[in-house]
Structure 1
Amino acid sequence: MEKITNDINKIALFDGKNLPDNWEFTNLKQINCFIGPNNSGKSRKIRELFTSDINQWIIDTYSLPIAEVLIQVQETLKSQNITHTLSHQVSSVSITALKDTVKNLIEKSPPIGLNRLGNHLYSKSYRNIFSFQDETNLTNLLITKLNQSYQDKLKVIDQIKELNWSSCYIPTLRSLRNLNHKTDTSVDLFKERTSLDYFEKVNKPGLIFSGHSLYQDLVKHLLGTHEQRQKVREYEKYLSTNFSLDKISH
């Protein structure tokens, strides 16, 4: 079964207040590389992703791109039947403003997720009095009903956000970094310095792993429970299968 995270094409980081102007990450895969000159912002962008709230992510998928949905909406709005239906069921909306909004979204492709599309279209095209019922009717007519055959794909974004995500930040261990001198060898100085430099104001950052505790963790598992020892054996098997010398030499 293919992982649903493989379906993530674009991500924009949303602060819960102001929608971002551009997609932060595009053409995503399971493994992604950031390439650029020194001081171009690669590490900063990764730290922004590491500390962001996944529930606020704006996501576009490969299976049902928002651009595809917008083109479908644009074609639908050319029908007199749908404009007649909208004028009766969504009376507070200006059809002209609605068409202009869809056209603008297609041309500029700003970060608007499918789960926010109906709200955005209505907020940009209603006349004077906002109606939650009209917003719901607009969403149902132009997005939900038009994509009845794609209901599973429409649910993918919610399924992605419901995953038990875990974030791990592995810092670059630069030798010129100034470290506090401590005689206690159990203290992870690189992790301590990384937290101080980059995540001092972050309430609950994810796992910061410098590799300092790797040996101690391995010893703990080898001397631990049967389940812990089994994990080590499975990891050894994984390494021997996927990173054997024969494979590397070829």
Structure 2
Amino acid sequence: MAEDSRVRTVKSLAADLADSDVAHLYRERCVIRVRGVDDLRAEALEAVAGSTASVTYRSVHGDLITATEEIFRLLDTLLEKRLPEAFTPLEERAHWEDDDEEAGPLPAGPGPYGSGMRALGSAGERITLISNGNLDLPAAGFGYDDDGPDDDAPHPREPWQEVTGSPDLLRTWLIGRMRWTMNDGDYSESPRTEQERARLSATQAGRVALADRLLTAFPPERSRFFVGAHAGWDLWSEDYLSRDEVIAFASEDHVAILWLALYRYYG
């Protein structure tokens, strides 16, 4: 793809996919944000000198974050400073498990859980896709996910890892990460009506189309891919059965983050 055509494709993503266009998902289950590398460098999280790590920087929340490369500082800048803008700010609210009337409401705030986003950092670990069998790729369909602990503690962050492999395997992996369950969209349990099956098919087709648009804007031979989890910070443990993952795409001039809300099935 010619350079000017690729840049137009990236800008189209930034303009058209600020919110997901995957059919029949509930709001804010799938969010994309795109930012220029120069813009991210201008607002990058504060670097901290004197560390033995390759890169150390201070998160919006004050934590010191370490990473092996500068690219992770840019990813975390996009996470903490720009991704919260994609969500409707939460108002003051009571915790679902709070029986103490004198405790007061949880504070209002940005992001999917009202706590903003948090930087993930990186130890430089890498996932290499060799075949579908060397990584636990989620099934192409919908299922009853069972990720995460059964307790009410906030999930620990899962640092960024780079993902490498052939274009075909990267596409399979990317589509597979969008493993929404019945809790994430306008569906119901089997047996499904013809209308429900059509909605499910439309969502499945939408995630394939979304993956292809991202891979067109960020060709594997000229881009880098990263994955992390629990950037959407459920500080107040409001929904310990939820999980979120972030997938990042980085070229010489742009960075994009795909945020996925994945709810375990219950109820």
More strand by percentage: 2
More helix by percentage: 1
TM-score range, shorter chain: under 0.3
- State the TM-score, normalizing by the size of structure 1: 0.21
Larger Rg: 1
- State the TM-score, normalizing by the size of structure 2: 0.20
Bigger RCO (CA 8 Å, 6+ sep): 2
